[in-house]
Structure 1
Amino acid sequence: MKSRWTDGIAKPKVLKSLFDQGVSFHKAALKCLPFNGMPADLLVEPGVVNLAFAIECYLKGFSFHENDEPAIGHELDSLYFALSDALRGKILKCYLTVPFLNSTELDKCVKAMATAFVDWRYVFEKKELSVSFGEMFDFARALHETAVAEGIFATSGFLEDLKRPQERVLEKSGHRLR
């Protein structure tokens, strides 16, 4: 039997590791890409890669939570559709509550961003490449909030500002809508 990286590690520690890593990459993406008018450095490629990897970590955390087995691969759609219908339903419910939602078709969005982690690391090899930052942010946020709501992961509330209307976020940061 092939050894897994999770062998001998308690389930709560594995889950914490996966979700902590997801949060770290999620925070990095928020610093690279503009979201709801919040200032960013506009580092597109690193931002997309960080966000895709955050999503991957969250999905692998959910998979481990459900199956006690580490999920393999980087394709976000495969990781997402391997989750139970019940869990995907909870994620969708959370996703549909995101303010300023970019799309209501989550399955379609996940398929569109499926290979973002690999594609955007090797963007120089592509003739054309596109991804919706908004849809990726919405999905990452829904995954994070679902994990917190389900008690799978406790967080410091770093997404708190994104729960408020856009105007409050901008006012808090000193910016104004014109």
Structure 2
Amino acid sequence: MSSKSARQLSASFFSASERCLTERRCGDESLAIIPVPGIVCGVFSIEIGFKSLLMAAGDAAKGHNLLKLFEKLDSSIQDEIIKGVGLDRVCFMKELGEMADSFTQWRYVYEHEEVGISLNFLHQLAKATQHTAERVVGF
């Protein structure tokens, strides 16, 4: 797969995540989201976004650990994503470390008694990754 194809796939999962995590009116007038598919798609969009950036730099990446993938990115790309999220590096790395294995955890959420994730950080990171990948890889 090319970096551009990976970037487009990442954008598709980002869109799916946004659709699932956007509150919508249900028949009884309550608001609802579809959390687990939204989280899985959001985290996967970040993973593929990171991989598209690595591919564009001529690097290959395997695995689902977001922290390990992020650490392989060029420091200027890391800085751009961190700035897009709006945190300092220390706070960003702490948040990313806490959700590093989220794709596996949330994909198999039924196997865990308790899982958690910051939806705000997930959304900000996914959005910043999309912006950076679009600039670097194109669309």
Establish whether residue 57 from structure 1 lines up as the match of residue 43 from structure 2. Answer: no
Structure number having the greater helix percentage:
2
Output the CA distance in 2 between the equivalents of 1:63 and 1:94: 18
The alignment's C-alpha RMSD in Å is 1.7
Establish whether residue 126 from structure 1 lines up as the match of residue 117 from structure 2. Answer: no
Secondary structure at the aligned position of 1:135 is classed as helix
Establish whether residue 15 from structure 1 lines up as the match of residue 3 from structure 2. Answer: yes
Q: Which runs of 5+ in 1 are unaligned?
A: 1-5, 7-13, 97-102, 155-178
Output the CA distance in 2 between the equivalents of 1:61 and 1:44: 25
Once superposed, which parts of structure 1, at least 4 consecutive aligned residues long, lie more than 4 Å away?
none
Query: CA separation of 1:16/1:149 partners in 2, compared to 1, >3 Å: closer, same or farther?
Result: closer
Show the counterpart of 1:42: 33
Secondary structure at the aligned position of 2:12 is classed as helix
Task: Tell me the CA shift for residue 86 of structure 1.
Answer: 1.8
Task: Tell me the CA shift for residue 41 of structure 1.
Answer: 4.8
Show the counterpart of 2:16: 28
Identical aligned residues as a percent: 28
Establish whether residue 148 from structure 1 lines up as the match of residue 134 from structure 2. Answer: yes
Aligned residue identity for 1:94: G
Greater RCO between the two (CA within 8 Å, min separation 6)?
2
Task: Tell me the CA shift for residue 32 of structure 1.
Answer: 0.9
Output the CA distance in 2 between the equivalents of 1:77 and 1:117: 12
Larger radius of gyration: 1
Task: Tell me the CA shift for residue 77 of structure 1.
Answer: 0.7
- TM-score, structure 2 as length reference: 0.86
Confirm or deny: 8 A CA contact 2:7 2:134 kept in the other structure: no
Q: Which runs of 5+ in 2 are unaligned?
A: 25-30
- TM-score, structure 1 as length reference: 0.68
Confirm or deny: 8 A CA contact 1:32 1:41 kept in the other structure: no
Pairing partner for 1:85 from 45, 55, 75: 75
Output the CA distance in 1 between the equivalents of 2:65 and 2:109: 16
Of stretches 113-122 and 41-50 in structure 1, the one that deviates more from structure 2 is 41-50
